[in-house]
Amino acid sequence: MKATTREKLLGVSTATLCTALFKRGLRNQFIQDVHPGNTQRDPQTPNMVGEAYTLRYIPAREDLNPITVFQDRAHPQRKAVEECPPGAVFVIDSRKNPRAASAGSILVTRLMVRGVAGIVTDGGFRDSPEIARLPFAAYHQRPSAPTNLTLHQALDINVPIGCGDVAVWPGDVLVGDGEGVVVIPADIADVLADEAVEMTAFEDFVTVRVQQGQSILGLYPPTDESSRVAFAQWRKEHGR
């Protein structure tokens, strides 16, 4: 992803990106049933944007997951937290199981301090009230206090995974807003960002017009020539 791409993706919505992906035949890139951990999120919070760095969990077997496993510095969960590149998004395949935690506030804080862009799991976080108060993007299904060892065994770092029914390949670009998280295949991130910026300009124009009382017919989409003219004029006026 180009630096300008990251910047562009900070200002477009996951909804707009989903439509751009849909136009390319990619219908299943929105991570299902995963939400911002901070339910009182400020709407001005910028998007989470970063390349996927993944962690794969499998079901825990009791004898392999006593509390002592964390004494091993090579434990994949701890190792991944220390090695995830700054600017990346840490994505966990928790098999959509939120009955035990995927991670807690200490690890999430460590990721934040290390400059990671955000964390996503299709399971749940523990210490979720603390995580909600961090100035850090954290997406999960629902709060979950039990330690991850209860149900999850951390296994692989940076392999392709599933998360919320979406394929996530290392390096894919993840974008998160107040709605949720979308996964953009790495090779189309730049072009998709461009397209989404264009779409966003048009949607902003339409929103203004609708707030002013205009019908959506002929405007959205702009099948009326007058809509296209008005949009061109609006772009000029607003420098978009």
Site for a copy of itself in 55-84 (CB under 8 A): 58-64, 67, 70-71, 73, 78, 81-82
Q: What is the size of the binding site for a copy of itself (CB under 8 A)? A: 88
Which long-range contacts (C-beta less than 8 Å, at least 24 apart) are formed by 3-6?
Answer: 4/193, 5/173, 5/189, 5/190, 5/193, 6/49, 6/50, 6/87
Nearer CB in complex with a copy of itself: 87/150: 150
Non-local CB neighbours of 221 within 8 Å, separated by 6+ positions: none
Query: Torsion angle of alpha carbons 7, 12, 13, 18, nearest 10°?
Result: -100
CB 197 within 8 A of CB 127: no
Q: How far is the CB of 132 from a copy of itself (least distance, A)?
A: 8
Q: Taking CB under 8 A as the criterion, which residues in 129-168 touch a copy of itself?
A: 129, 133, 142-147, 149-150, 153, 155-156, 159-162, 165-167
Non-local CB neighbours of 17 within 8 Å, separated by 6+ positions: 9, 29, 175, 182, 184, 192, 196
Single residue of 1, 84, 107, 196 touching a copy of itself by CB under 8 A: 107
Q: How far is the CB of 2 from a copy of itself (least distance, A)?
A: 21
Single residue of 2, 4, 23, 232 touching a copy of itself by CB under 8 A: 23
CB 128 within 8 A of CB 149: no
Q: Does 239 bind a copy of itself (CB under 8 A)?
A: no
Stretch touching a copy of itself by CB under 8 A, among 3-11, 189-197, 220-228, 229-237:
220-228
Q: Does 30 bind a copy of itself (CB under 8 A)?
A: yes
Q: Does 85 bind a copy of itself (CB under 8 A)?
A: no
Q: How far is the CB of 233 from a copy of itself (least distance, A)?
A: 19
Q: What is the 3-state secondary structure (H, E, C) of 51-67?
A: EEEEEEEEECCHHHCCH
The tokens for 130 are 């603390």
Nearer CB in complex with a copy of itself: 7/82: 82
Single residue of 221, 229, 233, 238 touching a copy of itself by CB under 8 A: 221
What's the count of helices (H) and strands (E) in the chain, helices before strands? 7, 12
How far apart CA 122 and CA 50 sit, in angstroms, is 17
Q: Does 200 bind a copy of itself (CB under 8 A)?
A: no
Q: Taking CB under 8 A as the criterion, which residues in 1-20 touch a copy of itself?
A: 13-15, 17-19
For residue 36, give the 3-state DSSP assignment: strand
